[in-house]
Chain A
Amino acid sequence: MFRCDQRPASGALIDQTDSVRTTRTLVPALLAGGLVVAACGGDGDGDTTSNSTTSTGTAEATATVDASSSPTTDGLTPSSSNSGGDGTIDGVVFVPGDADTIQAGVDMAAPGEIVLISPGTYEESVDVTTDDITIRGLDRAGVILDGDFALDNGIRALGVSNVAIENLTVQRFVNNGVFWTGVDGYRGSYLTSYLNGEYGIYAFDSVNGRIDNSYASGSAGAGLYVGQCYPCNGLVDSSHAEYNGLGYQGTNSGGDMTVSNSRFNNNRVGIFPNSGSYELCYPQRETVFSDNTIDNNNEGSAPSISFSAEWIGNGIITPGGIGNVIENNAVSDHDRVGIALVPFVERFPNDDLPTESDWLSNCTDAREEPLPEIIPDELVWESFDTVVTGNRVSDSGQADLMVTSIDMPTEDLRNCWSDNVFTTSQPAQIEQLAPCDGEGSGDWSIDAFDIAEWQAERIDLPPALSSMDADIPPPPADLPNMPDAQVVDTD
């Protein structure tokens, strides 16, 4: 590889404000019919969004690769200093070409570089241990990492900073499709995850990241998952999850966390933020769920672990969630409840319940907390302080809106409801009982729901099902490619 001697400072890879990545180090620009690589050597403030083959007036050089050929360095016209003269391009590792496998390409890439993958099926697991790199497929449906139910994870980023994964498909891995763990700065864009056994697109113990324009189906755990982070500073946006155990799961995550503009349908459960001491950083809290479409999450044929299977038939359900905002969602056609605030009963826990003052503790502090001398046999995680407003909820078998509790009077949980369009609720007249903009009044016992009823129904629910054994539709054929995927600027 021929590399630039000077590179812009890294660390700006994840931009929370834009729907498409905007970085100084690597910016795609679509060029019809050609692959353009803008190389290093610029003045540091060039126009990184140019769609032109012409350089931006800086000292940046460009090189063109015939897009009809394999997007390796074959066909490169080494017209300027970005080429090492040996057919390579600064800041870009081509797979195949520079490396035979994605893992070899990732290992070859230096911080600030991009691994660009040609269409093909790659039967490998990839570990990322280099900061500040981007892994991109040149064709979302055509670049396929296939685990054949024998490999564990598709792409796994481990304890690194600023790793973006873009425009490719991961399928049939035993554990997870795309997985960031212990990462500061992550992004998954235009990803397709299909039939990955546990989680499809998965950020754990990771902060400052986003998942956008992605699709996940066929995972028994959840299609999309952000867990164990506070504050997360995370975003799930413009994505789609269907035929999973849970469409979205957010165990013990929250704080500057948003799930928006996405669709969750035909999962066993649509959206599932929950608390539990089996993993660190409890409780789940402070996540905004807005402007999503959530429908028909009753799908007993979707793969599921047993933990998820008992919650089937709910659109948005927050077992033990605290301080969430659920607003402007369209929620329809659920066998049980459209939007449910419920307790989570955790048997044989790993800690005691956090106090309200503990709710502000970050994950780093939680990691150092000693365990108490006595651990209860059971914890009841109630759902507190959630705002449910402006949602359109319809056609729910049990109730459009619901709240219930176990250890406390439901009216003491400080949840509220306003400006929702709905027909039924448990308890009745829920917006009169606890409006978000004033004092409530009424009888909380009318049509109140006892969650023990669901416990009794568990035996009759569809059982757990592995991804390997599931029969679900393939991903839609029209999932869009990432704009500008074939162009990189390595300035």
Chain B
Amino acid sequence: MHRPIETIGRLVGVGVLVLALMLSLRSPTADVSRAPRALSNDAVADSTGRGAALELSRVLLDRGQRDGARGADATDSIGQSVHLTLQRIPSAALRATLAAASLAGLPLDWTDSTAARGLAVSATAAADPQGGTIARARAQNTQPLVLRDAASTLDSVADASRGLAVSGARLSARIEARQGRSRAAVDVPAQALLRRLLLFARPGWEAKFVTAALEERGWKVDGRLLIGRNAFVTTGMPSGADTTRYAAVIVLDSGVVPAEPLSRFVRQGGGVVLGGDALRDAALRTLHPASPDGERPMVPGALLTDAPRRGLDAWELRPQRNAVVLVQESHGTHADPTVVVRRIASGRVLASAYRETWRWRMEGPVDGLEAHGAWWSALVSAVAFVPQRDTRVLRNDRPDSARGIPSVARFDSAIAAGARAAQRSPYPGDAAPYADLVARLGAPVALPTVRPTPATSPTVWWRASWLWFVVAAVALVTEWTSRRVRGAA
């Protein structure tokens, strides 16, 4: 009885030992079919510039060979990720290469070991007939931030996280943000393509001087002024409110414009400025950014002070929940909102609390005329619809008539300048390489603590050293058991 058991025990022990011997003699690289598993989660250490390109090429070639050797489908290796530890921001060409590899299905992630900081700069054309550019910069941390153009420093702040914005009529061709060693730059855009304004009001000094103020600032204004029952006086050539013709609509009185076309105009992306009695127009209630709770009388004599708008009659505004207060007036312990804006669909609607702003121009200080014009132009600019320039036109070298493009595009030097700038830089992201890298590969990840981590993978169980210990232990226990059984016999 004991002998068969002993024999069986010995056979098992010897078999296990033979198996262990075979496995230990077998080289992992000898079995090509198992290679992809071994290379899962490749680490391309210290990989910036040519080093990263070479490492990445090597990994991709290895995978290709392995996949080819086993006749595997290419997608078999897609699931394996590649990790890059970047010591500095890769060149534009390498960023493009990495992005191409990522787009081709190779999961890439990266750890930020650079000294660069997340830094963003933008330049947008102001919606102002007098031109100008609005440059904004912002960073992730609180280090000093400097914004400059090719000529000189424009502005700087000690805390970059709060951002920095500069408006200037004549910013030179390229704007750059600097923070420590990090830099980001962007070209100054072409001037915004602005359309006309449409004014709805009753004939009066407010309508007259709002029109005059805007025209003096370069806007083109069409007016439709209600002068009697269904009788209008027109200025310019007014037509229906539509973003193909108008950038914004200004309404200064109640009952002068139907609500539906105005709502449609806003949904198209157009801007609306409501002033005076238009804020009391019940038909326009769905558009109102704020409702007038009462009248705030003017402060006598304030028109000739440093705060001339206090000398104007105004509404006390109560902003709607989704509205934003752009301007407010402080009165001791409290502040009254005077300009409130609200987004509706693609458009914006602005409410101005002041009722007779023409007095600011006529009865205000010496610079009241210019200040009144700048004020109204700024209100309109805040909501004006600005169409995007068609980039297909930018690269149009053929005669316009051949492509059915309006001939005016040919003579627009700003467009031509933009086209030349676009052709100069094959890598547009080079202006802000860090942001470009994030855009292409995603945000950086933390440095992996264990690389690679095959122990948890069921496909490589046989490579775990603790398993060999168990095997040896089982063999020894089996041998010991066989001996104990033999003695008992």
Partners in one complex: no
